[in-house]
Amino acid sequence: MQITGIKSQVVSVPLVTTFRTALRTVDRIENVIVTILTDSDLVGFGSAAPVAVITGETAASITGAIEYIGDSISGMKIGSWENILQRLNSCIIGNMSAKAAVDMAVYDLVAKSLDIPLYQLLGGMSSDINTDITISIDTPEKMISESREKLASGFDILKIKVGGDPELDIRRLQLIQEAVGRQIRIRIDANQGWSAKEAVGVGRELERRGILIELMEQPVAASDFEGLRYVRDNVVFPVYADESLFSPGDALRLVKMNAVDGFNIKLMKCGGIYNAMKIAAIAEAAALPCMIGSMMECHISVAAAAHLAASRAVISRYDLDAPLFCSRNPASGGISYSGAQVCFADAAGLGIEEVTG
Ligand code: MG
């Protein structure tokens, strides 16, 4: 089976509630949906979500990069997918989300050609996927009512966005924990919003007040690896890299520096499943646990992340709630949700039947 072309379309999906982090506020998301065409009746689906403040990519840049990549891999054989993925990663530098969309569409096609779900191609189902649920940064009162509502609808792990004023962040977390109780797991994500000293101050104050958090994600600026290590060395809670971790090379540097306790892997940062598996392997060799996350993305690309997560033992934490913020699914089939659980379609590849737009 040969690749004959790539199509892309930009689909805009309104969110059901506004999403707010230390970096941005969004009401709708754009997804660049990719279809790889072949000389058979099989097609491969993928999707990219532009997040300019993190990856530097826009819908227009992703569309342009996909066209360029399409020309580079056209005519290649799906059966030699290592070659396709090597070409995909070497034909253009950067453009990681554009690469991720094409990468997952290639994997979708390989699994479809074997008539198996993608997770089976990658290693088989090693675990159920139960996602946390994100609480946007807001007033403590709004964050408490949002947390209560989510717990009532079946979630039991909260991912609390912080990274504003450290005093207010501590107050937010104290009030939320008092409201939801100590048995609820709380992850916090500062999205680079603190200095290293502020992060240590927050971590120590949370510890002093007996506020339990499972992990602290990306407390400091993406480029501040020394800062990550300083925070890791000075707070009791595990520190995870998100925006500091794009490539397998970043993963190696973070391991060498002993800078973090874990990785948050996202396909949009690393260029897709091919590179995500390399990061997961580095983490496993360094005995670091991984979380799988996503940007604000639709069901298509999060399905790819879920298939990867299901197949890798080292990925043991799941932050795959973004589709739950989308007012609609731009595709039929793929993943669905039952409370916190991500459910896979009983179908080959990513399980996506068609893109509905
Ligand atoms: Mg994050």
Tens of pLDDT, residues 142-199: 999 999 999 999 999 999 999 989 999 999 999 999 999 999 999 999 999 999 999 9
215-225 pLDDT per residue, tens? 999 999 999 99
- 266 C-alpha to center of ligand 1: Å? 9
| Amino acid letter, residue 217 | E
- 217 C-alpha to center of ligand 1: Å? 6
Is 99 annotated in the active site? no
Would you give the distance in Å from CA 326 to the centre of its chain?
Answer: 15
Both tokens assigned to 230: 């300083």
Both tokens assigned to 199: 């992060």
- 190 C-alpha to center of ligand 1: Å? 7
- 296 C-alpha to center of ligand 1: Å? 11
**Which residue reads 């979708």 in tokens?**
108
- 332 C-alpha to center of ligand 1: Å? 28
CB 226 within 8 A of CB 253: no
C-alpha distance from residue 59 to each of 49, 97, 129 (Å): 8, 10, 29
- H/E stretch holding 326 reads none
318-345 pLDDT per residue, tens? 999 999 999 999 999 999 999 999 999 9
- 239 C-alpha to center of ligand 1: Å? 11
Catalytic one among 159, 266, 269, 278? Answer: 266
C-alpha distance from residue 357 to each of 13, 14, 47, 294, 304 (Å): 9, 12, 12, 20, 18
pLDDT the model gives residue 342: 97
CATH numbers and ranges of domains, the chain? 3-115 (3.30.390.10), 120-355 (3.20.20.120)
pLDDT the model gives residue 156: 95
pLDDT the model gives residue 164: 87
pLDDT the model gives residue 206: 98
- Inform me whether the pLDDT recorded for 128 exceeds 90: no
DSSP assigned state of 334: S
Q: What is the largest CA-CA distance in the chain?
A: 63
159 vs 179: CA distance, rounded Å: 15
DSSP assigned state of 265: E
Percent of residues, the chain, with pLDDT higher than 70:
100
271 vs 94: CA distance, rounded Å: 9
CB 10 within 8 A of CB 51: no
260-298 pLDDT per residue, tens? 999 999 999 999 999 999 999 999 999 999 999 999 999
138 exposed, middle or buried (CB, 10 Å; 0-12, 13-18, 19+)? middle
Is 266 annotated in the active site? yes
Start-to-end C-alpha separation, the chain: 27
- Inform me whether the pLDDT recorded for 126 exceeds 80: no
**For residue 357, what pLDDT band results from cuts at 50, 70 and 90?**
confident
Catalytic one among 77, 161, 256, 269? Answer: 161
Would you give the distance in Å from CA 291 to the centre of its chain?
Answer: 9
DSSP assigned state of 35: E
Cβ-proximal residues to 63 (8 Å cutoff; 6+ apart), any chain: 8, 10, 32
CB 255 within 8 A of CB 229: no
3-state secondary structure of 115: coil
CA gyration radius, the chain: 20
Residue ranges with strand state E in the chain: 3-20, 25-38, 43-48, 133-135, 157-161, 185-189, 215-217, 239-241, 262-265, 290-292, 315-318, 331-333, 335-338, 341-344, 352-355
2-60 pLDDT per residue, tens? 999 999 999 999 999 998 888 889 999 999 999 999 999 999 999 999 999 999 999 99
Query: ∠ at Cα 47 (42, 49), nearest 5°?
Result: 175
84-119 pLDDT per residue, tens? 999 999 999 999 999 999 999 999 999 999 999 999
